[in-house]
Amino acid sequence: MHTLSQLTSGELAGIKRLSLSDNLTTFPLEIISLADSLEILDLSGNQLSSLPAEIKQLTKLKIIFASDNLFEALPEVLGECPELEMIGFKANHIRYVSENALPPKLRWLILTDNQLETLPDAVGQRPRMQKLALAGNQLTSLPHTMGELENLELLRISANQLRECPDHLLSLPKLAWFAFAGNPFCQSDANVESVPHVPSSSFERQEVLGQGASGVISKAVWNANQGDFPNDIAVKVFKGEVTSDGYPQDELNACLKVGNHPSLVQSLAQVSEPGFLALVMNLIPSHFKNLGLPPNFETCTRDTFPQGFTLSIAQIEKIVAQMEDVFQHMHDSQVCHGDLYAHNTLFDEEANIIFGDFGAASMYHMLPEAQQTQIKQIEHRALKHFIDDLLSVCSEEDKKTDAFRRLAIDATQ
């Protein structure tokens, strides 16, 4: 994080990435002095409601973040930024997006948790678009031009007011990660009671194990003997009313609908109290590690891995077999995970996996059979990308094996 004084003093001359969060109410024009170098601008967590025309002078700007500000419209000047590829205006008060606000090279647009009721046709006229996050708005329909987004791979439309499943998007040729829960078209009366309810007072949370968009996971212990339940547990406490992927209650319902599987995090109990929604789970053994890392700005939708990380073809085969079984188990339950990635997968030295994080999951049993088939096909693309990502870190000596070639074919068909 940088400071305004660093910027005004000229100390930041030549930097490529600038982050300013200082309750700014106006855009510091000193930023324009960085035009020769600035590629990433992060103005999240301020009090901004507009951007000046001068911002288009930032001719190298590729990425702008302005989440948690006071914008009521996406600034039109962004459409005049020639190299801008990624726009993130999450958690503002945006009601309006102009046809002119979307730059021609746009490939990643985040408008999560705003107040949008409509989108311009121009959203579907950006052929490089790969990632589009629109969860937590008031959208009642999506432009038919979005059916032309042939490079769109990830779409989040959960927690909106869509009354019909966007049929024109289900046949997009590259769509692989799709979240749509929390809309009128997929409302369900199903009351999933696959695990018992327990009070929040029945356990004590200890150290935080991890957190993501939808909640915080902590190690916990029961305050009294709970019969058949293990003593050491983990508890996921869901955040707020809406997350970047949708409503926490939808995540909980989807997770419980899928039920248990040897390669899934096992659910034990649920807590549903005013202001406190939580899932009690088996504590994952400490020897399990993350299989992958999330996508970065360059890969956009594809996972990354630590420098030097490799897997043998035998490990990859075993991991893929388990994930294929998990995939079939989820879709037998008519649940689309929406985030089938290596970074949501844990593995151990014997290549056993545990898959989790249902934050983007959507139940689809209420949809017509043809749409159910399309949704399964969409997630099957994510499974193929998962295989392809693992093959990218296969040890060099194993890349000449028949097993590698067979999996490579599976990842492309």
Summarize pLDDT for 50-63 with one digit per residue, the tens: 999 999 999 999 99
In this prediction, residue 13 has a pLDDT band, given cuts at 50, 70 and 90, of: very high
CA distance 43 to 88: 10
- Write down the pTM of the prediction: 0.95
Summarize pLDDT for 118-127 with one digit per residue, the tens: 999 999 999 9
Non-local (6+) Cβ contacts of 350 within 8 A are none
Burial (0-12, 13-18, 19+ Cβ within 10 Å), 235: buried
- Closest by CA to 321, choosing from 387, 258, 408, 385, is 387
Region 385-403: mean pLDDT is 97
**What residues are designated binding site for ATP?**
236
Percent of the chain with pLDDT over 70: 99
CA distance 222 to 224: 5
Is the pLDDT assigned to residue 212 strictly greater than 90?
no
In this prediction, residue 190 has a pLDDT band, given cuts at 50, 70 and 90, of: low
Summarize pLDDT for 333-348 with one digit per residue, the tens: 999 999 999 999 999 9
- Region of residue 152 (phi > 0: left; psi between -120 and 50: alpha; otherwise: beta): beta
Is the pLDDT assigned to residue 230 strictly greater than 90?
no
Output the pLDDT for position 228. Answer: 80
Output the pLDDT for position 245. Answer: 76
| 413/122: higher pLDDT | 122
| Residue pointed to by tokens 């990632």 | 131
CA distance 241 to 279: 16
- Closest by CA to 111, choosing from 75, 165, 153, 151, is 75
Is the pLDDT assigned to residue 187 strictly greater than 70?
yes
> What is each CA distance from 63 to 6, 23, 235, 355, in whole angstroms?
21, 21, 36, 31
**What residues are designated binding site?**
236
Which of these ranges, 12-16, 85-89, 186-190, 301-305, has the smallest mean pLDDT? 186-190
> Domains plus CATH for the chain?
4-186 (3.80.10.10), 200-282 (3.30.200.20), 289-412 (1.10.510.10)
In this prediction, residue 32 has a pLDDT band, given cuts at 50, 70 and 90, of: very high
Q: How do 108-110 and 86-88 pair as beta strands?
A: parallel
Q: What angle do CA 135, 140, 144 make, to 5 degrees?
A: 95
What the block records as the tokens of 361 is 């999951």
Summarize pLDDT for 253-308 with one digit per residue, the tens: 999 999 999 999 999 999 999 989 999 999 999 999 999 999 999 999 999 999 99
Q: How do 289-290 and 345-347 pair as beta strands?
A: antiparallel
CA distance 163 to 159: 12
| 3-state DSSP assignment of residue 133 | strand
What the block records as the tokens of 154 is 């990830």
